[in-house]
Amino acid sequence: MIVETGHFALILAFALALAQAVIPFAGARLGDGALMRVARPTALMQFLLVALAYGALTYAHVVSDFSLVNVIENSHSSKPLIYKISGVWGNHEGSMLLWVLVLSLCGALIALFSSAMPAKLRADTLSVQGLLGAAFLLFILLTSNPFARVSPAPWQGRDLNPILQDPGLAIHPPLLYLGYVGFSIVFSFAAAALIGGRIDAAWARFARPWTLFAWISLTLGIAMGSYWAYYTLGWGGFWFWDPVENASLMPWIAGTALLHSAAVMEKREALKVWTIFLSILAFSLSLLGTFLVRSGVLTSVHAFASDPERGVFILAILVFFIGGALALFALRAGALPVGGLFAPISREGALVLNNLLLTTCCATVVIGTLYPLALEAITGEKISVGAPFFNTVLIPIALPLALLMPIGQMLAWKRGDLSAALARLRAAFIIGVAALAAFGALQGAPYLSVAAAAVAVYLVVGSLSDLAQRANARAAGPRAALARLLGLPLSVFGTAFAHAGMGLTLLGLAATGWGVENITTMRVGDYADVGPYKIVLEEMAARPGPNYSESYAVMAVRSNGQTVARIEPAKRFYPARKTARTEAGIVTLGLGQVYAALGEGHDDGSIDARIYYKPLVTLIWIGALVMALGGAFSLADRRLRIGVARRAAAPALPQAAE
Amino acid sequence: MKRALKILALAAALLAPLGAQAVEPGEKLADPTQEARARAIATELRCLVCQNQSIDDSDAPLAKDLRMLLREQIRKGASDKEARDYIVARYGDFVLLRPPFKPETLLLWGAPLIALAGGALALWAAYRRRRVAAAPAALSAAERAKLRALGVEEGEG
């Protein structure tokens, strides 16, 4: 009964989404306030109904209701509770339901927190959001129904893919979807602005917090997914340039470009057309990613759906929304007034350059991801575009971008002074060169790692220099400096931290070139050297888990004769699916990690082991956290909040410009 | 240019995730230089039955066969190129994770340059257009007369 209620709620949500798409839109055209006000309750109710449906599916998973196909195929009564809950989105149908849940959440958030927006813009935004919801709800109802029953019900389910039985699954998809789908808000904003034909700095001020919100979630989601891959796949790879990963990277790059151009639009009313375009692009790339992952057009580790009917349906949604938005853009963009002027050497100019380089990266990733598909479709020839391609073409763009980031941060708006900006970065340059010499002397080859690490150090120092100088400028003593520092707008901290975080990630990436590995066969009592550590295999044993059995090894990590840590790499066997997975033994020492994974066992009691020392590797993810923190600072900026509140107090202001 | 490309290629290979899920201790070549070469080549060859994994990362049986084939060639004294060509001759370009330069991949390899140049060109055009649009309009005859009346020469002030 609960399951049927969920199914029914989903159908109701679809009907409401249609109403949300049509009625407020008509209201905005007719200038009818009552019709426009329909947007808010329908958006909230749509979210509640989808949440109800989602709750019903979760309930079925938690109580192991094996009359549901979805539960049979992805669950098992002995599966731990957390994986029963997170397993809901560990399959195609549930994952699409989560997608729509986040989409309707976004609609509800707009409905709740947009009272300061002009009524028409708000009605149109929610109407576009409703149309998106209707399209995807229809997709679920017609092609991916998670509530399908089967009779007779089997006694037991087939269990969730063991790779997905991991805390990573509990965190990674929700965060990723908040980011991915969060860009729908900005997309709807842009479409609504184009429909209404009025785009100004106030629009950017409404859109920017949502862009930040989506960007922060996506940053954390990608980082989380990458760490998950790192510790589960058994050899410490963290990014594979897999099309499914690229699907999340493309909107991230576009979103990063959007954050920067929206800043220009908000401050200087320039780059309006471009900002609108990026707003459409970011979510369009999310849709493209969803198509790639969900249609089965590429079969990869992540894709657990392959059904042409679904593919065609998503493709239709994709064409309708991207095509529609771009057509609207083409119709209206020409009529937008040209914004504020600026000299090429200025903060705006730097942000334009940033956008040029980021867009180039984004285009490269898109083309690299789609090229094999297109080539095969056109000529039938199969090629592979893998990590070597992406590294080769993107590193020459990414490193100059990293060099330019602190410089842009130092330039003034409107007209900047390049030599003054460079002078303010003197310390960063000196420390960067010192780092180059130090890394070169201490670590040596590969030289690209040395160069990238030096750029990374420069980037971190350069990003924070702005803060240091603003605090210290002519300040008398540390107390005054601290007072100045605390008095700075939070968005200044936001920029500094986000850029420094990028530097930390780059340093972690560079240091992968200095990793050490030891692939060897060991017996109890044997040791293996890896980097500065000696790894001793102390014990091998077996133990049962909740729904698996595990054989594990205890290894002591020794440094200068002292045991500094013990790790327990393991191999797990899941009888329900008759599959095994390796569980790496990892310990963080300083910023680096020792990582061990078990391979084949041999008859004589020895076992193959792969042991790695990865210096500075944690910085890859710490950097992402710092970037997200920077985003959070910007989001919390007083000026952004006051901007909104003021408009709430005086709603006549934005309308006066109409 | 060629040398720069080589350095980049090497760098990319070294920066790529250090892969070795699958390389088993027994497979390794006795000569460490040869083994290192084999590893470097293996990270750029695709495991054909897996998706997006190099043969160096994969534990599929086919990946192991390919690794053995590759090491066999290296052990026999083949150069990197010869060893790679040996595999490509048997499995086609699909096995290369770094697509080869050829007419069909021109747009792929050219993509970053095209995007960058196209973007830069568009920016330049927009900048010029804007400067023209923003340049002060020429004075009308009436305004000139007014200025003359005030005793100001054009171009002053």
B134 located within any domain: yes
Contact at CB, A391 and B7, closer than 8 angstroms: no
Angle between helices B32-42 and B80-91 in degrees, nearest 10: 40
Which pair of structure tokens corresponds to residue B78?
């083949």
Query: Longest C-alpha distance within chain B, in Å?
Result: 99
A252-290: per-residue pLDDT in tens? Answer: 999 999 999 998 888 888 888 899 999 999 999 999 998
| Bond preceding residue B25 cis, omega within 30 of 0 | no
Which pair of structure tokens corresponds to residue A137?
């709800």
In angstroms, the separation between the Cα of residue A512 and the nearest Cα of chain B is 6
Residue corresponding to tokens 């209404």: A196
- Dist. CA A403–CA A458, nearest whole Å: 8
pLDDT tier for residue A600 given thresholds of 50, 70 and 90: confident
Residues B8 and B69 in one domain: yes
In angstroms, the separation between the Cα of residue A170 and the nearest Cα of chain B is 24
Residues B20 and B72 in one domain: yes
Residue corresponding to tokens 């390794």: B28
Residue A198 identity: R
Which of B2, B97, B102 should one mutate to test binding to chain A, selecting the residue with the greatest count of A CBs within 10 A?
A: B97
Q: Residue B97: which of A360, A384, A519 has the nearest Cβ?
A: A384
Angle between helices A201-232 and A619-635 in degrees, nearest 10: 160
B53 located within any domain: yes
Cβ-based contacts of A292 with chain B (< 8 Å): none
Alpha helices in A151-271 (DSSP H): 167-196, 201-232, 243-268
Q: Residue A360: which of B14, B21, B115 has the nearest Cβ?
A: B115
Whether the pLDDT of residue A595 is over 80: the answer is yes
- Dist. CA A99–CA A176, nearest whole Å: 10
Which of A392, A604, A612, A616 should one mutate to test binding to chain B, selecting the residue with the greatest count of B CBs within 10 A?
A: A392
pLDDT at residue number B16: 37
B156 located within any domain: no
Nearest CA in chain A to B9: A392
Which pair of structure tokens corresponds to residue A486?
């605390």
- Segment A318-344 shows an average pLDDT of 85
- Dist. CA A393–CA A398, nearest whole Å: 9
pLDDT at residue number A295: 78
pLDDT tier for residue A351 given thresholds of 50, 70 and 90: very high
Cβ-based contacts of B7 with chain A (< 8 Å): 447-448
Contact at CB, B28 and A519, closer than 8 angstroms: yes
Q: Residue A446: which of B11, B97, B123 has the nearest Cβ?
A: B11
Nearest CA in chain A to B114: A360
- Segment A140-151 shows an average pLDDT of 92
Q: DSSP 3-state assignment of A466?
A: helix
Which one, of A15, A90, A12, A103, lies nearest residue A57 by Cα? A90
Concatenated DSSP letters for A377-389? Answer: HHH-------HHH
Which of A389, A401, A455, A514 should one mutate to test binding to chain B, selecting the residue with the greatest count of B CBs within 10 A?
A: A389
B26 located within any domain: yes
Whether the pLDDT of residue A181 is over 80: the answer is yes
Contact A644, A116 (CB under 8 A): yes
pLDDT at residue number B14: 38
Q: What is the CATH number of the domain that holds B69?
A: 1.10.8.640
- Dist. CA A425–CA A105, nearest whole Å: 43
Q: Residue A391: which of B16, B52, B54 has the nearest Cβ?
A: B16
B4-36: per-residue pLDDT in tens? Answer: 444 444 444 333 333 334 677 778 888 888 888
Residues B10 and B70 in one domain: yes
B45-68: per-residue pLDDT in tens? Answer: 998 887 778 888 887 888 888 999
Which pair of structure tokens corresponds to residue B127?
């900048």
Contact at CB, A341 and B134, closer than 8 angstroms: yes
Residue A329 identity: F
Total number of domains in chain B: 2
Concatenated DSSP letters for B17-48? Answer: ----SS--GGG--SSHHHHHHHHHHHTTBB-T
pLDDT at residue number A303: 45
pLDDT tier for residue A408 given thresholds of 50, 70 and 90: very high
Residue corresponding to tokens 């605390």: A486
- Dist. CA A16–CA A557, nearest whole Å: 59
Quote the mean pLDDT of chain A: 89
For residues B104, B108, B110 and B112, what is the CA-based torsion angle, rounded to 10 degrees? 170
Report the half-sphere exposure of A623 (CA within 13 A, side-chain side).
24
> Per DSSP, what are the bridge partners of residue A609?
A520, A598
A26-77: per-residue pLDDT in tens? Answer: 999 999 999 999 999 999 999 999 999 999 999 999 999 999 999 998 999 9
Whether the pLDDT of residue A538 is over 70: the answer is yes
DSSP state of A149: B
Residues B28 and B80 in one domain: yes
B35 located within any domain: yes
- Dist. CA B101–CA A96, nearest whole Å: 39
Residues B40 and B94 in one domain: yes
Alpha helices in A344-386 (DSSP H): 347-379
Contact at CB, A384 and B105, closer than 8 angstroms: no
In angstroms, the separation between the Cα of residue A103 and the nearest Cα of chain B is 30
Exposed/middle/buried for residue A86 (C-beta within 10 Å: 0-12, 13-18, 19+): buried
Which one, of A533, A617, A601, A616, lies nearest residue A567 by Cα? A533
Report the half-sphere exposure of B125 (CA within 13 A, side-chain side).
6
Contact at CB, B51 and A298, closer than 8 angstroms: yes
Q: Computed over its alpha carbons, how large is the radius of gyration of chain A?
A: 27
Q: DSSP 3-state assignment of A552?
A: strand
Interface size between A and B, measured as CB pairs under 8 A: 179
Contact B94, B43 (CB under 8 A): no
Residues B32 and B54 in one domain: yes
Residues B73 and B15 in one domain: yes
Q: Residue A235: which of B19, B96, B130 has the nearest Cβ?
A: B19
In angstroms, the separation between the Cα of residue B148 and the nearest Cα of chain A is 31
- Dist. CA A646–CA A643, nearest whole Å: 5
Contact A178, A48 (CB under 8 A): no
| Bond preceding residue A344 cis, omega within 30 of 0 | no
- Dist. CA A289–CA A323, nearest whole Å: 16
Contact at CB, B24 and A600, closer than 8 angstroms: yes
Which one, of A83, A235, A162, lies nearest residue A584 by Cα? A235
Contact at CB, A240 and B46, closer than 8 angstroms: no
Which one, of A614, A568, A560, A566, lies nearest residue A592 by Cα? A614
pLDDT at residue number B2: 46
pLDDT at residue number B157: 39
Contact at CB, A242 and B52, closer than 8 angstroms: yes
A236-254: per-residue pLDDT in tens? Answer: 889 989 888 899 999 999 9
B155 located within any domain: no
Kindly report the CA angle at A383 between A380 and A384, in degrees rounded to 5? 145
In angstroms, the separation between the Cα of residue B116 and the nearest Cα of chain A is 6
pLDDT tier for residue A576 given thresholds of 50, 70 and 90: confident
Backbone φ and ψ of A346, nearest 5°: -170, 170
pLDDT tier for residue B1 given thresholds of 50, 70 and 90: very low
Contact at CB, B99 and A298, closer than 8 angstroms: no
Contact at CB, A388 and B116, closer than 8 angstroms: no
Contact at CB, A392 and B9, closer than 8 angstroms: yes
Contact A190, A276 (CB under 8 A): yes
- A177 or A651, greater pLDDT: A177
Residues B96 and B108 in one domain: no
- Segment A109-133 shows an average pLDDT of 93
Q: Computed over its alpha carbons, how large is the radius of gyration of chain B?
A: 30
Q: Residue B98: which of A386, A600, A614 has the nearest Cβ?
A: A386
- Segment A365-384 shows an average pLDDT of 88
Write the CB contacts of A249 (distance below 8 Å, at least 6 apart in sequence): A222, A365
Which one, of A572, A545, A455, lies nearest residue A509 by Cα? A455
Residues B87 and B129 in one domain: no
**Residues B48-58: b if buried by 16+ CB within 10 A, e if exposed:** bebbbbbbbbb
Contact at CB, B123 and A352, closer than 8 angstroms: yes
- Dist. CA A463–CA A450, nearest whole Å: 20
Backbone φ and ψ of A149, nearest 5°: -100, 165
In angstroms, the separation between the Cα of residue B139 and the nearest Cα of chain A is 22
Within chain A, how many helices (H) and strands (E) appear?
22, 10
Q: Residue A383: which of B105, B111, B127 has the nearest Cβ?
A: B105
Residues B117 and B95 in one domain: no
Which pair of structure tokens corresponds to residue A415?
């007209």
Write the CB contacts of A637 (distance below 8 Å, at least 6 apart in sequence): A489, A490, A491, A494
Which one, of B18, B54, B79, lies nearest residue A514 by Cα? B18
Which pair of structure tokens corresponds to residue A283?
């979510």
In angstroms, the separation between the Cα of residue A356 and the nearest Cα of chain B is 6
Other Cβ atoms within 10 Å of B157 Cβ, number: 6
Cβ-based contacts of A389 with chain B (< 8 Å): 97-99, 108
pLDDT tier for residue B130 given thresholds of 50, 70 and 90: confident
Residues B87 and B115 in one domain: no
Q: Output the 3-class SS for B4-22.
A: HHHHHHHHHHHHCCCCCCC
Cα first-last separation, chain A: 52
Contact A76, A53 (CB under 8 A): no
Cβ-based contacts of A236 with chain B (< 8 Å): 17-18
- Dist. CA A457–CA A435, nearest whole Å: 7
Cβ-based contacts of B51 with chain A (< 8 Å): 242, 298-301
Which of A275, A336, A519 should one mutate to test binding to chain B, selecting the residue with the greatest count of B CBs within 10 A?
A: A519
Write the CB contacts of A504 (distance below 8 Å, at least 6 apart in sequence): A456, A460, A619, A622, A623, A626
B157 located within any domain: no
- Dist. CA B139–CA B142, nearest whole Å: 8
Contact at CB, A233 and B116, closer than 8 angstroms: no
In angstroms, the separation between the Cα of residue A583 and the nearest Cα of chain B is 12
Which one, of A98, A238, A232, A97, lies nearest residue A165 by Cα? A232
Cβ-based contacts of B108 with chain A (< 8 Å): 367-368, 371, 385, 389
In angstroms, the separation between the Cα of residue A156 and the nearest Cα of chain B is 30
Whether the pLDDT of residue A460 is over 80: the answer is yes
In angstroms, the separation between the Cα of residue B74 and the nearest Cα of chain A is 20
Q: Residue B94: which of A240, A384, A396 has the nearest Cβ?
A: A384
pLDDT tier for residue A593 given thresholds of 50, 70 and 90: very high
pLDDT at residue number A96: 94
Contact at CB, B104 and A237, closer than 8 angstroms: no
Contact at CB, B17 and A238, closer than 8 angstroms: yes
- Dist. CA B104–CA B97, nearest whole Å: 15
| Chain-centre distance for alpha carbon A57 | 26
Domain housing B117:
104-150
In angstroms, the separation between the Cα of residue B129 and the nearest Cα of chain A is 11
| Chain-centre distance for alpha carbon B63 | 25
Backbone φ and ψ of A125, nearest 5°: -60, -50
Percent of chain A with pLDDT over 90: 63
pLDDT tier for residue B153 given thresholds of 50, 70 and 90: low
Which pair of structure tokens corresponds to residue A585?
């033994």
Residues B94 and B34 in one domain: yes
